[in-house]
Structure 1
Amino acid sequence: MLAGLRLSSIALLALVAACGDGAPAIDPSAASTTGGGSSTSSESGAPTSTSNPDDGTTATDQPVTTTAASTGGEPGTTTGEPGTGGEPGTTGEPGTTGEPPLPGCGDTPPADFQAEASAPADGAAVPGPSVDLVVTIGGQLLADATAKFHLREVHALTADDDFTIVILPDTQNYTQFPGNFPQYPAQTKWVWDHRNTDNIVAVLHNGDVVQHGNQQEIEWQRAETAMSTLEKTGTKFPDGIPYGIAVGNHDNGASSHDDVPFATTFFNKYFGVDRFKDRGYYGGHYGNKNDNNWILVRAGNLDIVMVSLEYRGELGQDPDVLAWARGVFEDHPNALGIVNSHHIVKANGDFSAEGKKIYEVMKKVDNVQLMTSGHIKEFRSRRTDNYMGHKIHSMLADYQDLIVPADDCAGGCGYMRIWRFSPAKDQVKVETYSPSLDKSMTGPQEQFTLALDLSAATGVFEVVGEVAGHDAALVHTVSDLKPGATYEWYAIVKECGAKVTTPMRTFTVE
C-alpha cells in the first residue's frame, strides 16, 4: 500500500517505534539524475490500517502466498522474507525514537509519556480561514516535547478522477516490416485522439522497439515517426503526452537475438537524454545514458512515478541500477510506483531471473504496486505477490507474432494494453485493444481488474509546522484554509526518546 496513506480512526494512541518509519532510502548519489518534477515528502508514521483490498481480510506481518495466472502455467507459491522495518510500538506505551536521550532526560525514555490530538474536535466545523491544531501532552516531561503537524485536504473521489495509462508491447515487427508498420502509428494516434476523452496521462513502451537495434537505423526512424505523435503539444500537454521506454534485448543487442547487451547507440540517438531533458515530466536517468530512466506525472491529486529499466539478459540486473530505481520511488513515497522493464514475467507466470531481482528490491518499497513487461512473444500472463501486506501485480503482454489472416494483419495486429484506473474504487481495469482493427480481446488474460491502493488520490499529507515546548499543550496555527474544504491531520510527538503518533482527526471549514 502507499506508505502512510491507508488511514483509519483509532480510539487509542498509535505508538510507533522509530524504525517503524521504514528502512532509509538507498542513496542514489553514485548515479546521476537530471531534470524532473518533485513531490512533497512527509515523515512517515500516519495511523494506518492493513486491510486487504482484494478479499476484505486483514493482513498480518506474515508472508503470504503468491498467485500467478498465465496462458500455460499453474499458479505458483512463494514464501516471503521478514521485512526490514521495525515492529510497531505496543498500544498504550510510548514508542522510542531510537535516538539517545537528551541532556536532563535520564537513561531511558519516560514510560508514561502521552500525547493526544485534542482540538479541534474530530469532525468539527471551524470558522476558518485559520485554525489552531492542539496536541495535549501528559506524563513525565523531562525536557521540551516536539510536535510535528501533518495536514492534508481531503478530496472526495468520483468517476471524474479516473485516468488511463497505455502500454505498448513489443513493436519490433512493426518497425522491421514496412507492411506492418502502419499499425504502430495507429496506436499512438489513438492515444493522442483519446487523450482527453479517456484522460490519458502517460504511455509506457515495454521495449524491443525495433528488431535490429544496432544494425538497421531505418527501424529507429520508423519508431521515431510513430512516437512523435505523442509529442504534439496542447494546453493540457505542453510537453506532449508523457512517455517512457524500456530498452529490450533487440534494442541493445549486437545481433537480432543476442542475450548479452551490446550497445544502445541508436536508442540513445533517437530516444536519449537530449530528447527528454526539457520535458517537464522527465525525471532523469541513471549514469550518462537514457537506458534506465523515469518519468513523473500527476492525475488529479495522485502522483505517478514510472521507472523504465534496461534488459540485461545473462548479465542480470545491475544492483547499482536497482538501488537507484529504489531511491527514485522512495523519494516520492506518496506516489503510485510502476516498474517498466522488458522481461519480468515468464510465460508460465513465474518471474524471469531479472524479474526476480527487480521484485526482491521493490517488494520492500511500499508505493510500487505494478510491474509491466513483454519479451515472450504470443504469451500473456500475470502474477500477484504479497509481501507482508504489500502487493505487487506483475504483467506480461506481447503480441509481436500475432497473425490474423481474417483481419489481414500481422506483427501483432496493433494490440496494446489500456490501463483504466479508478481511484474511487481503488482498482485498475486492464483492457486489450487494437486501434487499427477497432477490436478488443476479452479473455481472462486480456481483460481483468486488479485491486490497488490509490488512497493518495484523496490528498497527500504535508508537514505544515513543528512546535517545541515544555507546556501541557503544543499549538500550531494553520492559515489559508479553503471554505467548504475538509481536512485531516495528525501529529508525531517526541520527548526524551519517546515518540507518539496521534490518532488522525478531521475538520471542515465553514
Structure 2
Amino acid sequence: MPAGPRLPWIALVALVAACGDNTPALVPATASTTAGSTSTGGEGGPPTSTANPDDGTTDPPVTTAPPTTGGEPGTTGEPGTTGEPGTTGEPTLPGCGDAPPADFVAEPSAPADGAAVPGPSVDLVVTIGGTILADATAKFHLREVHTLTDADDFTIVILPDTQNYTQFPGNFPQYPAQTQWVWDHRNTDNIVAVLHNGDVVQHGNIEEIEWQRADTAMSTLEKTGTKFPDGIPYGIAVGNHDNGASFHDDIPFSTALFNKYFGVDRFEGRAYYGGHYGKKNDNNWILVRAGNLDILMVSLEYRGDLGQDPDVLAWARGVFEEHPHALGIVNSHHIVKANGDFSAEGKQIYDVMKKVDNVQLMTSGHIKEFRARRTDNYMGHRIHSMLADYQDLIVPADDCAGGCGYMRIWRFSPQKNQLKVETYSPSLDKFMTGDKEQFTLTVDLSAATGVFEVVGQTAGHDATLVHTVTDLKPGATYEWYAIVRECGAKVTTPTRTFTVE
C-alpha cells in the first residue's frame, strides 16, 4: 500500500515511544533483598509453582523497615509514574491536538476469524479508522491454544480474619500453622497464591506486638527456593482493625503500622508484585501465572462509612483492563454481608467491576462467624462474591478458639471451568462440611489454554497496520489481538482465531 504522509523522524521517534503499551512490567528491574534472588522477565512472568517438592528452600529475613514511596493516584501500579483516569497517561504529541480523538477505531481484518492459513507465516492485519492525526501504533499479541488436562489444576488459599490469633498468644500457633501448611503443600497442591482478607490484627495502631506476630506467620510464605525465588505470592487487604476504623483504635484510618510491616518495600522487587495506589500499600495488586493462565488479584482497603474512593476504584479497574486475559479477583475486607447482600462498599466495588469482563471472583471477611456467597450477572458477565470469617469460633472439644485455624482452599480446574471451595484447619487437620463450607462454582478459565505474548509492534499512518508472524506450527491453533494507540486514544481489538494447515 502506498505510504501516507510522515512526521519528521524526531517526531516519529517520540510518537512511537509515547504511544507504546504502558502495561506495567511483571518483574521489577531490581530484585528485592527480601526475595532472596534476582529476577528478570517480561509480560506474564515465570511459573509460581511446581510439582517437585524438593526445591532447596531457605528461611527469609524479617522485614520491618518503613515503606518507600511508589506510584501516584491514576497509575496502574508503576512506581513513580502518573496519569489521568480514563486516559493512557501519554503526553500531547506533535500534530495530535489537545485531546485524544474520540472516534478512533481499530478492528482485526485478516486472517478471517476461524480461517485456515497455509503457514508457516501469516500476516496479522488491523484496520483503523476515525480521526488519524499522526502515526498509530499496534502491538500484536499471540498465543498458541493448548489442550487442557488435570495437570493444569491449581490452588489459591484464602486467609480470613486472623485478629484473634495475633491478639492472644494462646491462639497464635494456629496462624503460622496455616502458612506452614501452605508452604508444605505448595507443590503437591500446586498453590500459586495466598490472599488475606484483612483484619490481620485487632489493634492496628496500638499494639505493635500483634504486627510482629503477623510478620512471623506470613514470613513462612517468603521462604525461597529454586522454584520459588520470591516465595509464595501473597496479597493482603487492609481491614477495619488494621487501619483503626474500629472502636478498638484511637487513630482512625491510619495504616502506619500496616505499612511498616507490610508496606511497599516488603514486596517491591518480587516478580509477582504489580504495584500499589498512591504512596502506600493500602491498595495493591499481584499477578501470578498458573500453567498458561495469568491470575490478577487486587486488594482494596476497608473504608466503611467513608465508602470506597472513586479514584481507587478507577485505578483498580484500570489494572484489570490492562490485563484483559487474566483471571481477575478482588480481595477486600467487607464485600458481602451475613445475609448475602452486598455491603455498601461491596456494592460500590461491584458496580465498577461488573463492567470489567475478566473480574469473576470477589472475596471478603469481616462478619464474625458467618459464611455467605452470591452470584451476580450483568449483561452475561458473572461474578461470584464470597464471605468467610471464623474469628470467634470456639470448639472446646478440639481445645481451640479464635477461629480454630479454619481457612478457605480454592481449587481451580481449568479443564472443567470449575472452582471447588473447601474449608480446612491445618492445626486440627479437619474439613468443615455443609453447603456453606464446601461448594463448586462455574468460572470461565478458558484463558488457561495459552498465554498471550507480544510478537511485534507496527507503526504507520495508513489505514492498515500489518505484522508478519513466522515459525507457526503445522496443525496448531492460534489466537491474537492487538492494542492500538493514536494520539492518546487506545483500542484493544477483539480476539481472532486461525489454524495452520
State the TM-score, normalized to the length of structure 2: 0.71
Q: Which residue of 1 aligns with 2:316?
A: 325
- Structure showing greater radius of gyration is 1
Instruction: Pick 1 or 2: higher relative contact order, CA cutoff 8 A, min separation 6.
Output: 1
Write out aligned runs for 1:60-71 (5 A).
none
Alignment match of 1:183 (pick from 168, 174, 189): 174
Provide, for residues 104-150 of structure 1, a one-character-per-residue CA deviation record: whole Å limited to 9, x for no partner.
xxxxxxxxxx99756898346x463x3456899xxxxxxxxx99976
The answer to whether residue 457 in structure 2 is matched with residue 457 in structure 1 is: no
Q: Which residue of 2 aligns with 1:423?
A: 414
Q: What is the one-letter code of the residue matched to 1:186?
A: A
Q: Which residue of 2 aligns with 1:198?
A: 189
Aligned-pair distance for 1:30?
3.3
Q: Flag structure 1 segments of 5+ consecutive residues without an equivalent.
A: 1-24, 37-96, 102-113, 137-145, 494-498
Provide, for residues 271-299 of structure 1, a one-character-per-residue CA deviation record: whole Å limited to 9, x for no partner.
11111112111111111111111111111
- Contact 2:393 2:403 survives alignment (8 Å): yes
Provide, for residues 321-346 of structure 1, a one-character-per-residue CA deviation record: whole Å limited to 9, x for no partner.
11111111111111111111100000
Alignment match of 2:365 (pick from 374, 380, 396): 374
Q: What percentage of residue pairs aligned between the two structures are identical?
A: 80
SS at match of 1:317: coil
The answer to whether residue 407 in structure 2 is matched with residue 403 in structure 1 is: no
Aligned-pair distance for 1:483?
6.0
C-alpha distance 474-262 of structure 1, shift in aligned 2 (>3 A): closer
The answer to whether residue 345 in structure 2 is matched with residue 354 in structure 1 is: yes
- Contact 1:336 1:369 survives alignment (8 Å): yes
C-alpha distance 450-120 of structure 1, shift in aligned 2 (>3 A): closer
The answer to whether residue 142 in structure 2 is matched with residue 99 in structure 1 is: no
Q: Which residue of 1 aligns with 2:333?
A: 342
Q: Which residue of 2 aligns with 1:266?
A: 257
Q: Which residue of 2 aligns with 1:507?
A: 499
- Contact 1:212 1:256 survives alignment (8 Å): no
C-alpha distance 503-180 of structure 1, shift in aligned 2 (>3 A): closer
Q: Figure out how many residues of one structure are paired with residues of the other and give that number.
A: 398
Provide, for residues 399-449 of structure 1, a one-character-per-residue CA deviation record: whole Å limited to 9, x for no partner.
001111111111101000011111111121111111111111121011111
Write out aligned runs for 1:29-40 (5 A).
30-31=73-74, 33-34=77-78
Distance 1:100 1:281 in 2: 34
RMSD: 3.7
Q: Which residue of 1 aligns with 2:9?
A: none
SS at match of 1:249: coil
Alignment match of 1:214 (pick from 193, 205, 208): 205
C-alpha distance 442-151 of structure 1, shift in aligned 2 (>3 A): same
C-alpha distance 237-121 of structure 1, shift in aligned 2 (>3 A): closer
Q: What is the one-letter code of the residue matched to 1:191?
A: V
Write out aligned runs for 1:32-431 (5 A).
33-34=77-78, 99=103, 117=110, 122-123=115-116, 126=118, 128=120, 130-131=121-122, 151-253=142-244, 256-257=247-248, 261-431=252-422
Q: Which residue of 2 aligns with 1:3?
A: none
Provide, for residues 439-495 of structure 1, a one-character-per-residue CA deviation record: whole Å limited to 9, x for no partner.
111210111111111111112555756698999x997532133466432457999xx
Distance 1:365 1:259 in 2: 37
SS at match of 1:453: coil
- Contact 1:117 1:502 survives alignment (8 Å): no
- Contact 1:261 1:312 survives alignment (8 Å): no
Q: Flag structure 2 segments of 5+ consecutive residues without an equivalent.
A: 1-22, 24-70, 81-100, 128-136, 485-490
- Contact 1:116 1:502 survives alignment (8 Å): no
State the TM-score, normalized to the length of structure 1: 0.70
Q: What is the one-letter code of the residue matched to 2:390?
A: Y
C-alpha distance 258-450 of structure 1, shift in aligned 2 (>3 A): farther
Aligned-pair distance for 1:212?
1.0
Q: What is the one-letter code of the residue matched to 1:507?
A: T
SS at match of 1:167: strand
